Amino acid sequence: MNAGYDGPMIEVRDLCRSFGDTQAVDHVSFEVPRGSVFGYIGPNGAGKTTSMRILATLELPTSGDALVEGLSSVNDPDRVRGRLGFMPDSFGTYGDTNCIEYLDFFARSYGLVGRDRTRRLRWVMEFTGLRPLATKPMRGLSKGMRQRLCLGRALIHDPAVLVLDEPAAGLDPRARIELRQIIRALAADGKTILISSHILTELAEMCDRIGIIERGKLLATGSVDDIRRTLQPTRELLVRVASDDAWALELLRSDSRATNVRVVDGAIRFSIAGDEVDQVAILHAMCDARIEVLEYTPQHNSLEDVFLQVTKGQVQ
Ligand SMILES: Nc1ncnc2c1ncn2[C@@H]1O[C@H](COP(=O)(O)OP(=O)(O)OP(=O)(O)O)[C@@H](O)[C@H]1O
C-alpha cells in the first residue's frame, strides 16, 4: 500500500502512444476508484492492449502518463509492478511445466519466500480452482484452465490492482459465468480491476463503469445506464391493453407529454421526454380513464445498440 494515498487506484492521464502513423492511443483519460471494476470495451485495434501494456510498464507512452496507486508507470515502474498484476491476452506456455511449478516460478520472481510463498501458492490454487490440477502439465490444460492459471499468475504477489486483457476470450458460457464470479469476488475483496473485451454484453454485468474506445479515442465513459441514458434522451414506452386500444390511443394522442404514439405489432408505443414522474402520471391517467392496462414497460436500447451507436466500426 502507498501509505496515506486515497486517490484513484488507476489513473490514465491524457495518454498517447503512436506507432509510426498509427495513433494507437489518442489522449485517453480515465480513473478507476479502489475496489471497482472498469470495463474497457472496443473493437479490434482500438488501443486497449496498448494502454494496458503501458499501465503494466511493458510499453512507454509517447506522451501522458498512467498511474497505479498514484505511482507513475513511466517514472516508477518497479513500484508499479509490485502493486499490479497483469493478465495478457496471450501468454506462453511451457509444455512440461505443471501448474504449481509455473506459479512457484512467478512467486519466486516476485521475491516471495518461505511460509509466505507456500501460503500464497495455496491460496491462489484454491481461489482459481486449480488445486486438483496442481501437477498437470500446462500443455494438457483446457483454454478455461489456462486462463485461470494466467489469472493465478497475475494474483500471485497479491497486487492491489489487476489489469486483465480479454480474459473471457474463447471461454465457454459456464467458464464465462465463473470468470464473472471470480472478478466480482476480487472486487469485493478490495481489488481494483481494469478488464477489456470486444463485447459490451460480456462485461456489462460485472463492471461498475465502462469506457468505450475506438481508433485510440475514448468515446464514452460511465455506468452502462449512464451511457444508455445519454444516447437515448427520450423514454420509449410500450402499452398493452385488455380491450380495444382505440380509447387508449386517443387518450395518449391528446396527452402533450406523449409523442410519436403508434401501434407496433399489436402494442401501443410512444415516447416521452420527461422523467419517471411523467411516466407514472401517464399510467395514472389511463387507469383513471378505466383503460385496462395489461403491460406498461419502458423499452431500452439493447447493449449491442448502445455499442453500435457509440462506435463507428472504423479500424486502423
Ligand atoms: N508494436 C506495434 N507496432 C506497430 N503497431 C502496433 C503495435 N502495437 C499495436 N499497434 C497498432 O496499434 C493499434 C492498437 O492496437 P491494440 O493492440 O492496442 O488494440 P486492441 O484494442 O487491443 O485490439 P485487439 O482487440 O485486436 O487486441 C492497432 O492499429 C495496432 O495495429
Same domain, 153 and 278: no
68: CATH: 3.40.50.300
Q: In the chain, what percentage of residues exceed pLDDT 70?
A: 97
Q: Give residue 281's domain range.
A: 234-300
pLDDT digits 0-9 by tens, 220-276: 899 988 887 777 677 889 999 998 789 999 999 999 999 999 999 889 999 998 778
pLDDT digits 0-9 by tens, 152-179: 999 999 999 999 999 988 888 888 888 8
Same domain, 81 and 190: yes
290: CATH: 3.30.70.2470
End-of-domain residue from the set 208, 229, 250 = 229
pLDDT digits 0-9 by tens, 80-91: 999 999 999 887
Ligand 1, residues 16, 22, 91: which to mutate, most atoms within 8 A of Cβ? 22
Same domain, 287 and 184: no
Same domain, 129 and 247: no
At residue 253, the pLDDT reads 95
Same domain, 145 and 93: yes
Does 132 map to a domain? Answer: yes
Same domain, 97 and 184: yes
Same domain, 224 and 263: no
Ligand 1, residues 17, 23, 28, 49: which to mutate, most atoms within 8 A of Cβ? 49
Q: In the chain, what percentage of residues exceed pLDDT 90?
A: 66
Does 1 map to a domain? Answer: no
Mean pLDDT score of the chain? 90
Same domain, 78 and 113: yes
Average pLDDT over residues 272-283: 88
At residue 313, the pLDDT reads 62
In the predicted structure, residue 187 carries a pLDDT above the cut 60:
yes
Average pLDDT over residues 48-60: 97
pLDDT range class, residue 309, cuts 50, 70, 90: confident
In the predicted structure, residue 93 carries a pLDDT above the cut 80:
no
Same domain, 117 and 201: yes
Same domain, 110 and 167: yes
Cell of 288: 383513471
Same domain, 124 and 81: yes
> Among the atoms of ligand 1, which is closest to the Cα of residue 53?
18
End-of-domain residue from the set 170, 200, 229 = 229
At residue 1, the pLDDT reads 62
> Among the atoms of ligand 1, which is closest to the Cα of residue 50?
18
Same domain, 163 and 127: yes
pLDDT digits 0-9 by tens, 207-228: 999 999 999 999 989 998 888 7
Domain total of the chain: 2
Find the residues whose C-beta lies inside 6 A of ligand 1: 19, 22, 24, 42, 44-50, 89, 198, 316
Ligand 1, residues 21, 25, 50, 314: which to mutate, most atoms within 8 A of Cβ? 50
In the predicted structure, residue 138 carries a pLDDT above the cut 80:
yes
Ligand 1 center to 45 CA (angstroms): 5
